[in-house]
Amino acid sequence: MPEPLPVLKILLGAFLVPWWNRKAFARALALPLALLVAWGLVWHGFVPAWPVATHWLAASVYVPLFALFAVTCHRLVLLDPQTVARSMAPRWTWRETRFLLWMAVVWAGAAGVSVFGLTLVANVWWGGDGSLQDWFDWVKFVVSVPALYVTARLSMLFPATAVDRRPTLRWAWERSMRNGWRLVVIVGVLPWALSQALALAWRGEATGLEWFLFLVGGSAVFLFEIAAISLSYRELTRDNAGKEIGL
């Protein structure tokens, strides 16, 4: 049975580990970060004027770029960062493909939980006065909690895949047992707090330079969040080193 996660240690390590290995992180993430920021600028400059259906096409470009960035981050934290950073041009391999597939699976599971919750509220539970629309923001927040819980419990799939393990849904669920709400803090509360801090610097009529800096800052939020998930994986598999995923 996994031991309770040291949440504060992990949150602190999410900032310290990239700083301690900043040269390796900068070298390995330079190209993935540049691609993410470049596509973000394209999206901001052109996609809003395109038909709505085209937004899905734009997202289909961004998500693989994010997967490449995330896999590199996980490997920098969990493996020898100097070895990972030897190449500035990460290649797309079956590792990244499996990572992308797990992203789709986890997203679909969380979306399914949210849709089920909204349907339940709209058709079974809701009996109050007034329109459900008046309460929609609160209802959406409430049903997002179980979706976030499911995402947090399955988040160990990502670092495991990034270091070439072959995890399963059952393994991820069992490995995160007794630590679900601690992972919610790491997977949900940390990025929310960082994004709120980043939003304080945002203004409606942003210039191109401000958009660039905002996108770089958003990528830093991703970096710290991914590092926190990696450190959680390390803690949760510490007692099973070398055989944490038995298939």
Question: What does the pLDDT read at residue 247?
Answer: 29
Question: What does the pLDDT read at residue 1?
Answer: 62
Question: What does the pLDDT read at residue 55?
Answer: 61
Contact 43, 24 (CB under 8 A): no
Mean pLDDT of 106-122: 87
Q: Which of residues 209 and 170 earns the better pLDDT score?
A: 170
For residue 231, which phi and psi values (nearest 5 degrees)? -65, -35
Q: Is the pLDDT of residue 104 over 70?
A: yes
Q: Which residues contact 168 (CB under 8 A, 6 or more apart)?
A: 245, 247
Mean pLDDT of 113-131: 70
Q: Which residues contact 117 (CB under 8 A, 6 or more apart)?
A: 142, 143, 146, 147
Indicate the average pLDDT of the chain.
Answer: 84
Q: Which residues contact 5 (CB under 8 A, 6 or more apart)?
A: 179, 182, 183, 186, 232, 235, 236
Contact 150, 110 (CB under 8 A): yes
Contact 39, 65 (CB under 8 A): yes
Q: What is the token pair recorded at 209?
A: 């330079």
Mean pLDDT of 93-119: 93
- The domain spans of the chain are 7-101+147-240
